[in-house]
Structure 1
């Protein structure tokens, strides 16, 4: 049985298709809707649980003429991510996904710019401790491709494909694909609607 040859163009095409498909399927929020940051507004007021709200003019159980002391504001639980941080991570991840959709080794200049845009996007946000390993894996994957493209003619299909194949292999792409799924799952569970 003859084994198919793995040329740099085939390796580059494989990496592009696997990563692109993974990112397209794992976009924030899933479904057909565009991935946008979800930011829940903070409540404007806090009403004590034992407050009596009635329209009968009768005093409530704690209405002894003294103003009730404000309840202490709840501290975020350990590991909780605030809305602003979630929005930052989701925005960066959505931009990374958009940059890496519809990649084609047959359009080398667009491919190179897509990897550069994806790298800029993913490195624009500081990941939380929980997602840092996966986030860093993706950032490193994109960085390796970007560095490989530094000294190539961006209009030369073979040069770009060879640079990509030399910089990132099938194992790297598999790790990046798994990392993309982990980042998406983290954002959906930690920053998604509760």
Structure 2
């Protein structure tokens, strides 16, 4: 069923997770730039590396990608930003092909706040912080449509959401004290309702 309003990828996936009954969850972008046949490679890597999460990576040395120079530069710059801020053991958090063990994803989702631009990043940052193993897989990316330009507004939102994840992780220590922050927000909401 399609959502009436666009509230972000994160919100849709959280909602869909309630209906999952299997042991694994695959994220695959619907634009078919990444053919579903590649999912088997992620399962193979998960088994061989004993990983909890496997993500497709445009920056993997064995990946075959065909997308514009501007997008390549933006991917690399974002990789550097993520590397500096989070020290994640992966090069590309934004490729639309990911494999998760369902129980791991459920535990991680309990902590995720971002609904839109840095949703994938927040999931991976939390998984890494919780000690789950993340592995990367090569992909074959064949765009099925012409790439649009990423506007300044979208770029700003991506950076803003990324900085928000960093702030929650390292300044607020939100992810380490999530129950405290949830109780605090609940108390604030309760006080507001009583007014």
Short-chain TM bin: under 0.3
Structure-2-length-normalised TM-score: 0.28
**Max Rg structure:** 1
Structure-1-length-normalised TM-score: 0.28
Relative to its length, the structure with more strand (as a share) is 2
